[in-house]
Amino acid sequence: MSEPLLLAESLSVRFRRTTLASLIGRGRPDNVQAVADVHLAVGRGQSVGLVGESGCGKTTLGRALLRLIEPSAGRLMFDGRDLITLSESDLFAFRRRAQMVFQDPYGSLNPRLTVEETLSEVFSVHRLCPVSKIRERVRELMQRVGLSPDLSTRRPYSLSGGQCQRVGIARALAVGPELIIADEPVSALDVSIQAQILNLFETLQHDMRLSLLFISHDLGVVRHLCRMVAVMYLGRIVEFGPTEAVFESPRHPYTQALIAAMPRLDVEGSLPRRGLAGEPPSPVAVPPGCPFHPRCPEAMPVCRNDPVPEERVEGRVKVRCHLYPLPMHA
C-alpha cells in the first residue's frame, strides 16, 4: 500500500491565553487543548470524512493540517516531507498542492472583489500562466465548477449561496491541488443545492484523483461521500475506519450515540427513545481520564482515571476506548 498523502501523528494544537494574572506570576495561562494526540491519514485519491459536534476541534484540526494554525506537538507529513519545519518558500509551494474550502459561502469571499478578480488573483500570485491567458483559464475554471461565465463580473452579495460556494471551490482548484480539505462546505446551503455541490465534489474527486478531507457534522453526507470516516470528540479521534464498517457496527459509544441521533428519513421511524444526555462539553474543561466518560452509558471505573493510551484495532476500524482490549503481544 502506498504511503498516505497526508499523515498526522500525535498531532496536538493547544491555545494559550495569557491572562493578566499569569503575566504577574499569579495563576496559570488559560490552556485550551483543541486537538489532542490525533493520528490521521489521507491516502492519494481517497475521501476521508471527519465528523463531530461543536467543540470537538474538527475545524481546528483541518486548519492545523494545512498549517493555517500552528500545531503545538506531533508530526505532520505531506507526500513524505515534514510540513512543520518547512521554509517560507517551501510552504508557498505546498500551498499549491493542498487547499481549503470553507463553510460560509459569503464569508469565504472578499465582498469587494468580483468573481473574476478573486479567481484571477490566484493565477497571478502563483504565476500559473502568462497574464494574457488568465482570463481564459478563469473561464475554464468557472465552467468546471458549473458556473456560467457571465457571473464573472458579479460580487458575492449578488450571488446565491450555492454559487458562492462554487466560486470558493474554483478558487481552491485553481492551483491544481492534490488535496482539498473541505470544512463543512454544504452546511450553510439549502438541501437541493447541497446535493448539487456534493455531486460536484464527487465528480472533481473522480476526475482529478483528488484526496479529500471532508469535515462535517452531518453523518448522512459523510456516509454518502467518503470511503473512510474519523469521529472526533473533544479534540480526540475516537474511531476511524471504512465508512460502511463504522456505520454498520459502530464500536465507540459516542459513535453509536451519534448514529442513533441522526435524523433519518424513515417514515416508520420515530425518535429513539433514549439518547445521549448532556451537551458536548467545551474544550476549556476537559474531563479527566477518557473525556467522554461523564456522558458514556458504558463508563467503567478505569474510564474515569486513565485516558485511553492508544488505538485498538477491531477488524478494520481503530477505536480509542477502554471497552476494547489491547492487542496481545505475542
Partner 1 sequence: MTTSLLEVRDLCVTFDTSRGPVRAVRAVAFSLAPAEVMGLVGESGSGKSVSCRALMRLLPPRGVRMSGVALFQGRDILALPEEELRDLRGTELAMIFQNPSSHLNPVMPVGDQIAEPVLVHEGASRRQARARAAELLRQVGIPDPDSQLDRYPHQFSGGMRQRVMIAAALACRPKLLIADEPTTALDVTVQAQILRLLLELRDRSGLAIVLISHNLGVIAQTCDSVSVMYGGRVVERGSKRDVLSRPHHPYTEALIRSQPESAPLGAPLPTIEGQPPAPSELPTGCAFHPRCPYAQPVCVEEAPPLEETQDGRRSACWRWPELAARSGVTP
Partner 2 sequence: MILAGLSLQACRRSRIPSALWAGAGLTLFWLLLAVGAPVIAPYDPIAQDLTRTLTGPSLAHPLGTDNFGRDVLSRIIWGTRLDLAMGIIGVAVPFAIGCCIGLIAGYLGGLAEMLLMRILDVTISFPFFVLVIAIISLLGPGLTSFFIAVSLVGWVSYARLVRSQILVLKHMDFVQAARALGYGRLRIMMRHLLPNAVVPAIVFSMSDIVLVILLGSSLSYLGLGAQPPAAEWGVMIAEGQTFMASAWWISFFPGLAIVGLAFGFSLLGDGLAELFGSRE
CA 170 and chain centroid, separation? 19
117-156 footprint of partner 2 as x/- string (CB under 8 A): ----xx--xx------------------------------
Q: Are 144 and 210 contacting, i.e. CB atoms less than 8 angstroms apart?
A: no
> HSE (CB half, 13 Å, CA atoms) of 204?
28
Contact by Cβ (8 Å): 286, 300: no
Contact 238, 38 (CB under 8 A): no
Q: Which is nearer to partner 1, 43 or 161 (CB)?
A: 161
> By CB under 8 A, what part of segment 64-83 binds partner 2?
66, 68
Q: Please provide the DSSP assignment of 286-324 as one string.
A: PPSSSTTGGG-TT--HHHHH----S-EEETTEEE--TTS
Q: Which does 194 bind (CB under 5 to 8 A by kind): partner 1, partner 2, none?
A: partner 1
Q: Please, which of residues 12-71 interact with partner 2 by CB under 8 A?
A: 63, 66, 68
Least separation in angstroms between residue 116's CB and partner 2 is 14
Binder of partner 2 out of 12, 47, 103, 205 (CB under 8 A) = 103
What's the min distance (Å) between Cβ of 160 and partner 1?
Answer: 5
Q: Which of 269, 285, 328, 329 binds partner 1 (CB under 8 A)?
A: 269
Question: Exposed (0-12), middle (13-18) or buried (19+): which is 208, by Cβ within 10 Å?
Answer: middle
Nearest to 168 by CA among 225, 124, 105, 117: 105
Query: Which residues, 209 to 268, sit near partner 1 by CB under 8 A?
Result: 217-221, 223-225, 243-244, 257-258, 260-268
# of chain residues touching partner 2 (CB under 8 A): 25
The yes or no reply on residue 168 touching partner 2 (CB under 8 A) is yes
- 266: buried, middle or exposed (CB in 10 Å: 19+, 13-18, 0-12)? exposed
Direct distance between the N- and C-terminal alpha carbons of the chain, in angstroms, rounded to an integer: 25
List the single partner that 171 binds among partner 1, partner 2, none, CB under 5 to 8 Å by kind: partner 2
List of residues contacting partner 1 (CB under 8 A): 53-54, 160-162, 190-196, 198-199, 202-203, 217-221, 223-225, 243-244, 257-258, 260-272, 275-277, 279-280
List of residues contacting partner 2 (CB under 8 A): 63, 66, 68, 91-92, 95-96, 99-100, 102-104, 107-112, 121-122, 125-126, 168, 171, 175
